[in-house]
């Protein structure tokens, strides 16, 4: 009996000792782990590329607008030649009275223009819409050539081979609206339209050579001259518009050629058919 009692006491002691050491171990294992918290600052996406400055140069054909001015400008040039033919013929025959006047003057046109544009993108590089303001210098040259015939009431007449140039150099200010169809792409097509206004300034120059016929005789006629539009109006019975309205509708392609540089090529209508290219910086 004593032996069993001693064994029970030893068993109880061992169990008690294990429980005493297990309690803190359990408390350590069940304690929730500490979580280290790190603050993360979220910054909005930078909307750069809101401004673009571009220099462009192009060619301009005036055929669509030619019909607007062709009749008046041809008449202005023809009247200048008619007046000079009559004056020179008067040196050979006195008291001439002008009769019928005919001409076969026809136009050919060439043109070029260049300008500087500032464009604003409200949403930066990710936005498709932009608003542009530009200043454009345009040089439009209309060459007129053909025969001019002036008859007089006494049966005499003068016939000359004439050539003339009508040159317009409007400096226009323009406002345009553009949509890039894929603004996030490196190469994006775009559509643009706008309006501009400029004073209509220009010159009319001419030269001719020919012959005056009277009473079986003939004499050479020749002359050269130049006048501004205003000077030509003062001696004629017509008025030219003082304001030149520019309409601009075009399709083009924009290419990012470096981090801040863009290349643009477009074709469309600018009171004529225009093809132009531009190089710009965007920031």
Residue 25 lies in a domain: no
Residue with the bigger pLDDT between 22 and 101: it is 101
Q: Total domain count for the chain?
A: 1
Q: pLDDT, tens digit, for every residue of 85-136?
A: 999 999 999 899 999 999 988 888 889 989 999 999 999 988 999 999 999 9
- Work out the average pLDDT over 164-192: 93
DSSP, res 67: H
Residue 270 lies in a domain: yes
Residue 31 lies in a domain: no
For a pLDDT cut of 90, what percent of the chain falls above it?
Answer: 47
Out of 54-63, 172-181, 227-236, pick the least confident: 227-236
User: What is the distance between the alpha carbons of residues 32 and 27, in angstroms, rounded to a whole number?
Assistant: 10
pLDDT of residue 16 exceeding 60, the answer is no
Q: Enumerate the β-bridge partners of residue 275.
A: 59, 267
Residue 232, pLDDT score: 72
Residue 25, pLDDT score: 46
- Rg for the chain, CA atoms, rounded: 43
Q: E strands, the chain, where?
A: 51-61, 98-103, 106-120, 129-152, 157-168, 171-180, 187-199, 202-214, 217-228, 243-256, 261-270, 273-282
DSSP, res 90: T
DSSP assignments along 165-202, one per residue: EEEE--EEEEEEEEEESSTTSSEEEEEEEEEEEEE--E
Residue 41, pLDDT score: 43
Residue 201 lies in a domain: yes
Q: Note down the domain range covering 268.
A: 51-282
- Contact present, 166 and 129 (Cβ < 8 Å): no
DSSP, res 272: S
Residue with the bigger pLDDT between 139 and 174: it is 174
Residue 100 lies in a domain: yes
Closest residue by Cα to residue 81 from 7, 156, 133, 149: 149
pLDDT of residue 212 exceeding 90, the answer is yes
pLDDT of residue 42 exceeding 90, the answer is no
For a pLDDT cut of 70, what percent of the chain falls above it?
Answer: 79
Residue 98 lies in a domain: yes
User: What is the distance between the alpha carbons of residues 59 and 109, in angstroms, rounded to a whole number?
Assistant: 11
Residue 219 lies in a domain: yes
Q: Model pTM? A: 0.67
Residue 229, pLDDT score: 78
Q: pLDDT, tens digit, for every residue of 58-72?
A: 998 876 667 666 777
* Token pair recorded at residue 149: 């015939």
């Amino acid at each position: 009996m004593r032996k069993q009692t001693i064994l029970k006491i030893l068993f109880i002691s061992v169990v008690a000792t294990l429980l005493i050491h297990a309690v803190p171990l359990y408390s350590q294992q069940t304690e929730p782990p500490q979580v280290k918290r790190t603050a993360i600052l979220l910054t909005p996406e930078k909307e750069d590329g809101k401004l673009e400055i571009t220099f462009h140069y192009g060619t301009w054909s005036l055929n669509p607008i030619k019909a607007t001015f062709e009749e008046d400008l041809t008449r202005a040039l023809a009247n200048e030649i008619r007046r000079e033919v009559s004056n020179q013929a008067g040196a050979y025959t006195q008291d001439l009275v002008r009769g019928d006047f005919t001409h076969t003057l026809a136009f050919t046109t060439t043109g070029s223009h260049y300008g500087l544009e500032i464009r604003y993108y409200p949403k930066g590089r990710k936005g498709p819409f932009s608003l542009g303001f530009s200043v454009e210098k345009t040089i439009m040259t209309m060459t007129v050539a053909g025969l001019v015939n002036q008859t007089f009431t006494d049966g005499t007449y003068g016939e000359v081979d004439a050539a003339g140039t009508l040159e317009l150099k409007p400096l226009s200010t323009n406002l345009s609206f553009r949509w890039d169809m894929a603004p996030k792409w490196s190469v994006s097509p775009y559509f643009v339209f706008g309006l501009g206004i400029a004073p209509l300034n220009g010159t009319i120059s001419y030269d001719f050579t020919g012959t005056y016929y009277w009473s079986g005789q003939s004499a050479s006629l020749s002359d050269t001259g130049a006048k501004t539009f205003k000077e030509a109006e003062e001696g004629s019975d017509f008025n030219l518009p003082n304001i030149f309205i520019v309409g601009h509708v075009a399709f083009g392609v924009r290419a990012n050629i470096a981090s801040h540089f863009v290349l643009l090529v477009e074709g469309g209508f600018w009171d004529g058919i225009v093809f132009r290219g531009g190089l710009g910086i965007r920031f």
